[in-house]
Amino acid sequence: MRKIDILFKEYAESHQNRKNKLIHWICVPLIFWSILGFISLIPAPHFFIQYFGAISIVSLIAIALVTVYYFSLSWRIAVIMLFVMLLMEHLIYFVNVKLQHQSWILFVAVFVLSWIGQFYGHKIEGKKPSFLKDLQFLLIGPIWLLHFVLKKLGFKY
């Protein structure tokens, strides 16, 4: 069995309840987005990309590191998640431009509310979140959701 399948199986053990899964479909992407938002606020040089906006060197490094980890599990998932992260960065750029020095408030609110949702989901589930056992599960959550979409569309991951 591939490492990614082992990780998905272990992650799924604490994500069986229908309500908990629904909460994860909402909260996991929001947490991922808010973390990228926090990273975008770290003072660093930015690159302006036409039709995209600006992205900081720190954000690029973070995205590259996450992508390398995902590549170690599945090249297809890594490519799709790279695209997803860049789309998230595009939205983050517009939030940062619109809210300017106040965007951190939105990122904090989304982050805190999403984690409250996550812990509520796990209370319903009756099992602790997977990342309490192994921190790498913080990166598995987003691709665990993605693998369901890929399966539904008939694509291998």
pLDDT tens digits along 21-36:
999 999 999 999 999 9
| Segments forming the whole domain that contains residue 52 | 23-152
- String of DSSP letters for 2-39: -HHHHHHHHHHHT--SHHHHHHHHHHHHHHHHHHHHHH
Angle (nearest 5°) at CA 24 between 60 and 79: 35
CB of 41 within 8 A of CB of 104?
A: yes
Give the chain's domain count: 1
- String of DSSP letters for 25-77: HHHHHHHHHHHHHHHHTS---EEEETTTEEEEHHHHHHHHHHHHHHHHH-HHH
Q: Cα(28)–Cα(31) distance, rounded to whole angstroms?
A: 5
Query: Considering the domain boundaries, does residue 3 fall inside one?
Result: no
Encoding tokens for residue 95? 């939030």
Q: Does pTM surpass 0.75?
A: yes
More confident residue, 88 or 128: 88
Query: Considering the domain boundaries, does residue 10 fall inside one?
Result: no
Q: Cα(56)–Cα(43) distance, rounded to whole angstroms?
A: 8
Q: With bands split at pLDDT 50, 70 and 90, how would you rate the model's confidence at 125?
A: very high
Q: With bands split at pLDDT 50, 70 and 90, how would you rate the model's confidence at 9?
A: very high
Question: How much is the pLDDT for 53?
Answer: 83
pLDDT tens readout for residues 37-86:
999 999 999 888 887 788 999 999 999 999 999 999 999 999 999 999 99
Query: Considering the domain boundaries, does residue 2 fall inside one?
Result: no
The torsion of the CA quartet 92, 98, 103, 106, rounded to 10 degrees, works out to -80
Query: Considering the domain boundaries, does residue 75 fall inside one?
Result: yes
